[in-house]
């Protein structure tokens, strides 16, 4: 069942349900996606055309609930990747990061390419490797647009997921937020601590989402 949150249609699934059902193009939006999609109609349409759209961020999950939209649980991208079974191909990020991610994920990964090369050449390499699963970490909206435009050109790929910065966490290049931060919905604050250069980007995503939620709550109140 789809639930529309701030103009984006999410699949209301638990992690267990997602592992059983996901296929095709899977998007994992968090706060920055939602804020960008308010003004970027093309991006919003791509997200809404995905076969599955899962709520990735705990902050987004919380703001959705405050707006009266009850998503069962947030689906963390790294945790989802660790549960995947099949032949996996990694595409995106720096070469040292993607290679380390390949090493960490083990022999499930049959190929890994950085995100700084010609897309057509990468598609050729993917088709030679014939993976079942493609993980694309090009950043948003680039990764979603790549999957949307090119999935049909890679016939062996049954599942393609835009994973954002997941390779940074899997490789250990960036440490994941401690459990305490996760439970308090403060993963964005941890990211700010370890990557202060992302201040403007994080502020725009988190602040924008809070503002959207506040406006939505006022709208709901006025309708009562």
Q: What is the Cα 19 distance to its own chain's centre? A: 15
In a domain, 90, yes or no: yes
In a domain, 163, yes or no: yes
Tally the domains of the chain.
1
Residue 223, pLDDT above cutoff 70: no
Residue 131, pLDDT above cutoff 70: yes
Judge residue 116's burial from the number of C-beta atoms within 10 Å of its C-beta, 0-12 exposed, 13-18 middle, 19 or more buried: exposed
Q: What is the pTM of this model?
A: 0.90
CATH number of 21's domain: 3.40.50
Q: How far apart are CA 160 and CA 150, in angstroms?
A: 10
Higher pLDDT, 69 or 136: 136
Q: How far apart are CA 51 and CA 21, in angstroms?
A: 10
Q: Which domain holds residue 39?
A: 2-179
The partner residues of 64 in beta bridges, in order of sequence, read none
- Indicate the pLDDT class of residue 119, thresholds 50, 70 and 90: very high
In a domain, 205, yes or no: no
In a domain, 116, yes or no: yes
Residue 219, pLDDT above cutoff 90: no
In a domain, 223, yes or no: no
Which position has the token pair 């296929």?
A: 23
In a domain, 7, yes or no: yes
Which position has the token pair 């961020």?
A: 57
- Indicate the pLDDT class of residue 19, thresholds 50, 70 and 90: very high
* Contact predicate 87/132, CB 8 Å: yes
| Mean pLDDT, rounded, for 32-45 | 93
- Indicate the pLDDT class of residue 206, thresholds 50, 70 and 90: confident
Residue 190, pLDDT above cutoff 90: no
Q: How far apart are CA 122 and CA 96, in angstroms?
A: 17
Higher pLDDT, 170 or 206: 170
């Amino acid at each position: 069942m789809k639930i529309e949150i701030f103009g984006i249609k999410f699949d209301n699934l638990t992690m267990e349900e997602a592992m059983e059902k996901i296929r095709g193009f899977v998007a994992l939006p968090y706060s920055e996606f939602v804020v960008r999609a308010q003004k970027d109609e093309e991006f919003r349409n791509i997200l809404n055309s995905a076969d599955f759209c899962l709520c990735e961020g705990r902050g987004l999950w919380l703001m959705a609930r405050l707006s009266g939209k009850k998503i069962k649980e947030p689906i963390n991208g790294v945790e989802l990747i660790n549960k995947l079974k099949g032949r996996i191909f990694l595409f995106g990020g720096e070469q040292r990061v993607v290679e380390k991610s390949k090493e960490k994920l083990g022999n499930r990964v049959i190929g890994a390419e950085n995100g700084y090369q010609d897309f057509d050449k990468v598609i050729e390499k993917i088709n030679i490797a014939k993976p079942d699963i493609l993980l694309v970490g090009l950043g948003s909206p680039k990764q979603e647009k790549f999957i949307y435009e090119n999935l049909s050109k890679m016939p062996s790929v049954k599942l393609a997921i835009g994973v954002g910065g997941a390779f940074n966490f899997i490789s250990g290049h960036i440490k994941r937020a401690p459990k305490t931060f996760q439970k308090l919905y403060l993963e964005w604050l941890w990211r700010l601590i370890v990557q202060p250069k992302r201040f403007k980007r994080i502020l725009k995503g988190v602040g924008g989402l809070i503002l959207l939620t506040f406006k939505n709550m006022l709208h709901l109140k006025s309708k009562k």
